[in-house]
Amino acid sequence: MIIPVRCFTCGALIGDKWQKFSDRVKRGEDPSKVLDELNIKRYCCRRMMLSHVELIDEVLKYETYG
Amino acid sequence: MNKIEVAFRKLEENYAEFVIEGITPAIANAIRRTAISDVPTLAIDEVAIVENSTVFFDEIIAHRLGLIPLKVDTETYDVLLECYEEGKRDDCVAMLTLEVEAEKPGTAYSGHLKFAGFIGEFARLASAEVKPVSDLVPIVKLAAGQKLVLEAYAKVGVGREHAKWQPVSIAAYKYYPEIRIIKRECGEEGKKCADACPKGILKWSNGRLDLIPEKVEECTMCRACEEACPEVIKVSWDDSKFIFRVEGLGVIPVAKVIETALKRLIKRADSFVETLEKSIQTRS
């Protein structure tokens, strides 16, 4: 739904790095290089980013507040 | 008793690498486990939701808030630690508030959390501000017109109770590698051996196999070199010497985590001796 705050396995903070990661990958950069530059070293934290699907944007479309 | 020696290879605010010599695996593991699960930190534990018209349930938001690491300075930390050890964790609660109303689609970030002071008896001792380690952790996304208003109460706790109170993400050790080259002048086979090492610890030149001394600590003891040429090299380890790696979450400096872990461990051992003596006395 939304990026988890911490890595499921080691507990490192990863939530704050999602936006940067997503933006740069969408621009066509190599995900592995972006992860290195964001200093996400372990494969437990790297899969948090690589396997994440930001579904919350789809859900927001159907909200009728305001 | 053996003399214990410690040498730091790296010491940064959030990362430490050091070698301890002269301890047993049991003690090394006790230090590791204490650092992860018995060093108290501050994390949001109770949330009062005033208004929530976002797509997330109240409890999802509360859970995400709990996982956000909160930074405290060392003086405040000492006060919180004392308060926890005296069993008065409800007397040193930090209150934070959050109020986000979206006029256009947006995100509620950890940076929107505002520190509103300490509550309880210990409050007068703690003057410093409590704030998230990072201001960019998304809590929830909001569509236009949605609103999130809440009060959050951060309490002191330990990782044993819930992982949100863990002060470190990595606290690990490995044995100190001992690599013995049996046959230095080994011709072509030495090249095979050096190439097998994934960490590039071995060097082969002019038919001579050598270790690169400054890289020895990188050895993972995978024994790929042994497999490649069993006659030439032997890999073993010293079980009284350990390479520790500790990576902090930024809540308190890692040096402080290690120090607190050791103090807590000693306290535990002391209280064990005390209990033991008491039970012996009551028996006789």
Any idea where the domains of chain A sit in the sequence?
1-66
- Whether residue B223 is contained in a domain is answered as no
- Whether residue B192 is contained in a domain is answered as no
- Whether residue B181 is contained in a domain is answered as no
What is the average pLDDT value for chain B, to the nearest integer? 92
Confidence (pLDDT) at A19: 96
Flag residues of chain A having pLDDT under 50. Answer: 66
Taking the CA of residue A16 and the nearest CA in chain B, the distance in Å comes to 4
Is the CB of A63 less than 8 angstroms away from the CB of B143? Answer: yes
Per DSSP, B248 falls in state E
CA-based torsion, B16, B22, B24, B25: positive or negative: positive
- Whether residue B117 is contained in a domain is answered as yes
Taking the CA of residue A63 and the nearest CA in chain B, the distance in Å comes to 7
Structure tokens of B231?
Answer: 């006659």
Contacts of B67 in chain A (CB under 8 A): 4-6
pLDDT at B180 over 80: yes
Q: Does B42 touch chain A (CB under 8 A)?
A: no
- Whether residue B190 is contained in a domain is answered as no
Q: Which residue has tokens 């610890």? A: B201
- Whether residue B254 is contained in a domain is answered as no
Taking the CA of residue A54 and the nearest CA in chain B, the distance in Å comes to 11
Q: Which of A10, A15, A59 is facing B137, going by the closest CB pair?
A: A15
Is the CB of A60 less than 8 angstroms away from the CB of B105? Answer: yes
Which domain CATH number covers B131? 2.170.120.12
- Which residues have CB under 8 Å from A46's CB, separation 6+? A35, A40
Whole-number Cα distances in Å, B81 to B20, B73, B227? 26, 12, 50
Taking the CA of residue A60 and the nearest CA in chain B, the distance in Å comes to 6
Q: Which of B134, B145, B146 is facing A13, going by the closest CB pair?
A: B134
Is the CB of B166 less than 8 angstroms away from the CB of A11? Answer: yes
Q: Is-above-0.80 flag for pTM?
A: yes
Confidence (pLDDT) at A66: 47
Is the CB of A65 less than 8 angstroms away from the CB of B249? Answer: no
Is the CB of A63 less than 8 angstroms away from the CB of B55? Answer: yes
N-to-C CA span, chain A: 23
Taking the CA of residue B84 and the nearest CA in chain A, the distance in Å comes to 23
Confidence (pLDDT) at B1: 62
Q: What residues of chain B, 62 to 81, have a C-beta less than 8 Å from chain A? A: 64, 67-69
In degrees and rounded to multiples of 5, residue B104 shows phi and psi of: -125, 160
CA-based torsion, B86, B91, B92, B98: positive or negative: positive
Is the CB of A63 less than 8 angstroms away from the CB of B134? Answer: no
Q: How many domains, chain B?
A: 1
- Whether residue B107 is contained in a domain is answered as yes
Interval B92-127: pLDDT, tens? 899 999 999 999 999 999 999 999 988 887 766 666
Contacts of B135 in chain A (CB under 8 A): 16
Strand partners, B48: B151
- Integer Cα distance of B207 and B229 in angstroms: 14
- Which chain A residue lies closest to B249 (C-alpha atoms)? A12
Taking the CA of residue A10 and the nearest CA in chain B, the distance in Å comes to 5
Q: Does A63 touch chain B (CB under 8 A)?
A: yes
Q: Which of B55, B136, B163 is facing A16, going by the closest CB pair?
A: B136
CB pairs A-B closer than 8 Å:
68
Q: Does A55 touch chain B (CB under 8 A)?
A: no
The class of domain A1-66 in CATH terms is mainly alpha
- Whether residue B120 is contained in a domain is answered as yes
Interval B104-113: pLDDT, tens? 999 999 999 9
Range of the domain at B104: 42-164
Is the CB of B69 less than 8 angstroms away from the CB of A7? Answer: no
| ipTM higher than threshold 0.90 | yes
